[in-house]
Amino acid sequence: MSLGLAMLFCPTCANVVTIEKGDGPYRVYCSSCPYVRELRKKISTRVYPKLKEVDDVLGGAAAWENVDSTEERCPQCSHDRAFFMQIQTRSADEPMTTFYKCCNHACGHRWRD
């Protein structure tokens, strides 16, 4: 059984102890000295990292306010016009990525080309 990120140390010699399944419950033992102790409670800790907030790459809802539209069929509702904007998402020697948003306000589907 592994300890994961938590490490337990021997109170006698301060070396790292090992956890193993004994005849009954789990036990910790030190490989440097005769220290052995049975575990009566389950030892576990779970630490969940705080996730970073993700920024909207396209600039949020305001990014679509002053964009042009073109004749592009929406794959969701088949409307024949879509707003578009182009953003350099890769290295400079590759073409720009075109992002589309359906002009049909009831649909509003977004896709990229």
Residue 103, annotated as binding a ligand: no
Domain ranges of the chain: 1-47, 61-112
Q: What is the pLDDT of residue 80?
A: 93
pLDDT in tens, 50-75: 888 776 666 666 777 888 889 999 99
CATH for the stretch 61-112: 2.20.25.10
- Phi, psi at residue 9, to the nearest 5°? -120, 145
Q: What is the pLDDT of residue 77?
A: 93
pTM: 0.48
Q: What is the pLDDT of residue 2?
A: 44
Give the CATH fold of the 1-47 domain.
N-terminal domain of TfIIb (2.20.25)
Cα(29)–Cα(14) distance, integer angstroms: 12
Which residue bears the tokens 């964009």?
A: 67
Residue 102, annotated as binding a ligand: yes
Q: What Å distances lie between residue 22 and 1, 15, 40, 110, CA to CA?
A: 12, 20, 12, 58
Does the pLDDT value for residue 17 go beyond 80?
A: yes
pLDDT in tens, 100-113: 999 998 998 999 88
